[in-house]
Amino acid sequence: MSGFTENYRRLREAIGASDFDAVLLTSPENIFYVTGFHVGSAIVLATKDAGLFATDFRYAEDAARHIDAMPIYSTVDRPYKQIVNDFLHAHGAHTLAFEGSLRYEDYVNAVADLDAQLVACGSLVTDLRRIKQPFEIERLIAAQRIAEQAFDDILGFIKPGLSERAVALELYNRLIIRGGERLSFSSIVVSGENGSLCHGVPGPRVINPGEFVTLDFGCVSGGYCSDMTRTVAVGEPSDEMRKVYGIVLDAQNAAIAAARPGIVGRDLDAVARKVITDAGYGEFFGHGLGHGLGILVHDTDGASPCNTRVLPEGTVTTIEPGIYLPGKFGVRIEDVVILKCGGCENITKAPKNLIVL
Q: Which residues contact 208 (CB under 8 A, 6 or more apart)?
A: 160, 191, 192, 234
Burial class (CB in 10 A: 0-12, 13-18, 19+), 110: buried
**Run of H or E including 202:** none
Tell me the mean pLDDT in the region 269-280. Answer: 98
- Would you give the distance in Å from CA 246 to the centre of its chain? 27
Tell me the mean pLDDT in the region 315-320. Answer: 97
Instruction: State pLDDT tens for residues 287-313.
Output: 999 999 999 999 988 999 999 999 999
Tell me the mean pLDDT in the region 111-135. Answer: 89
Instruction: State pLDDT tens for residues 8-49.
Output: 999 999 999 999 999 999 999 999 999 999 998 999 999 999
Question: What is 131-346's CATH number?
Answer: 3.90.230.10
The predicted structure's pLDDT at residue 156: 96
The predicted structure's pLDDT at residue 103: 74
Instruction: State pLDDT tens for residues 228-256.
Output: 999 999 999 999 999 999 999 999 999 99
- Bridge partners (DSSP) listed for residue 228: 217
- Contact assessment for residue 302 and residue 292, using Cβ atoms and an 8 Å cutoff: yes
Burial class (CB in 10 A: 0-12, 13-18, 19+), 188: buried
Least confident range from 32-41, 213-222, 268-277, 322-331: namely: 32-41
Provide the residue ranges of all domains of the chain, joining segments of one domain with +.
3-129, 131-346
The predicted structure's pLDDT at residue 108: 65
Positive or negative, the CA dihedral 346, 334, 292, 34 is: negative
pTM of the full predicted structure?
0.94
In this prediction, residue 102 has a pLDDT band, given cuts at 50, 70 and 90, of confident
Superfamily of domain 3-129: Creatinase/prolidase N-terminal domain (3.40.350.10)
